Amino acid sequence: MKNKTVGLEDLGFKDYKQIWDYQETLFNGIVDLKIRNRREGLDEETPNYLLFVEHPHVYTLGKSGDADNLLLSETQLESKGATFYRINRGGDITYHGPGQVVGYPILDLENFFTDIHKYLRFLEEAIILTLEEYGLKCSRSEGETGVWLDVGTPFARKICAMGVRASRWVTMHGFALNVNVDLGYFDNIIPCGIRGKAVTSLNVELGVDKVDEQQVKEKIMKHFAALFDATFV
């Protein structure tokens, strides 16, 4: 029997490195349990988690990314109150900060399906369906992971970035949806290493000062649960 329950943790406003370390702890716990199950012929259920969090200003660079896509010096980073980390997810550089709904699914995909491509498409679909509820028509951009508006036009802009790590079918890292973000912080990078593409935020697209972030998270959870046939606990 596969465990399709997902432990939900809303961690509030937390330092990036603190939550990266926490992700690693949960991730390694699942991997270690899977190894023990196989080595000892056990069938102990592996847990799944979804962490919601909001970070102080931080830039993160994926393992295949180019450091030149960060356009700030160390001194400039400090002056903006931002930090920088090279991390072990896929993808290039991105920004996290206040007003962004960040989700880290730490799942044993053997509880759901063993297909990383499908996993990424399901994460994108959960965001696309969430934004549809706000009247936005979003889509994927071929060869560019994440969720976009006006793909194929000169006005294409990214609203949600994604980058994951997976080992032994266990995932970590995830998605970052711009909800009430100060978009000026994206001017300091070449987002995801893609030149000439704009970035946007839900409040900007709706023409409002602030969108209810808790409501956004609830909508994401609803669509995530339906797509993954999961139950949150």
pLDDT in tens, 115-127: 999 999 999 999 9
| DSSP SS3 for 225 | helix
192 is catalytic: yes
**Whole-number pLDDT of residue 66:** 86
Q: Which one of 109, 156, 189, 192 is the catalytic residue? A: 192
Say what the pLDDT of residue 54 is: 98
Pairing relationship of beta strands 83-86 and 49-54 according to DSSP bridges: unpaired
Q: Which residues contact 185 (CB under 8 A, 6 or more apart)?
A: 57, 80, 82, 95, 97
pLDDT score of 93: 87
CB 105 within 8 A of CB 171: yes
- Residue 201: phi, psi to the nearest 5? -140, 150
Asked whether residue 101 carries a pLDDT value surpassing 70, the answer given is yes
Flag whether 162 is marked binding: yes
Mean pLDDT of all residues in 131-142: 95
pLDDT (0 to 100) of residue 139: 95
pLDDT at 142 over 90: no
Domains of the chain: 5-232 (3.30.930.10)
Q: Are 48 and 230 in contact (CB under 8 A)?
A: yes
pLDDT tens-digit profile of 146-155?
A: 999 999 999 9
Predicted confidence (pLDDT) at residue 63 exceeds the cutoff of 90: no
pLDDT tens digit string along 208-232? 999 999 999 999 999 999 999 999 9
Establish whether 89 is an annotated binding residue: yes
> Residue 100 in contact with residue 177, Cβ under 8 Å?
yes
Q: Is 65 annotated as a binding residue?
A: no
The helix/strand/coil state of 114 is: coil
What are the tens digits of pLDDT across the range 154-199? Answer: 999 999 999 999 999 999 999 999 999 999 999 888 765 555 578 9
- What letter represents residue 61's amino acid? L
Long-range contact pairs involving 151-159 (C-beta distance under 8 Å, separation at least 24): 155/198, 156/197, 156/198, 157/197, 157/198, 157/199, 157/200, 158/191, 158/192, 158/197, 158/198, 158/199, 158/200, 159/127, 159/131, 159/199, 159/200, 159/201, 159/202, 159/205
How far, in Å, CA of 102 to CA of 100, rounded? Answer: 6
Which residue, 148, 48, 157, is CA-closest to 104? 48
Tell me the C-alpha distance between 215 and 194, whole Å. Answer: 30
Check the CA dihedral 143-145-151-157 and report its sign.
negative
Write down the mean pLDDT value for the chain.
93
Is 85 among the annotated ligand-binding positions? Answer: no
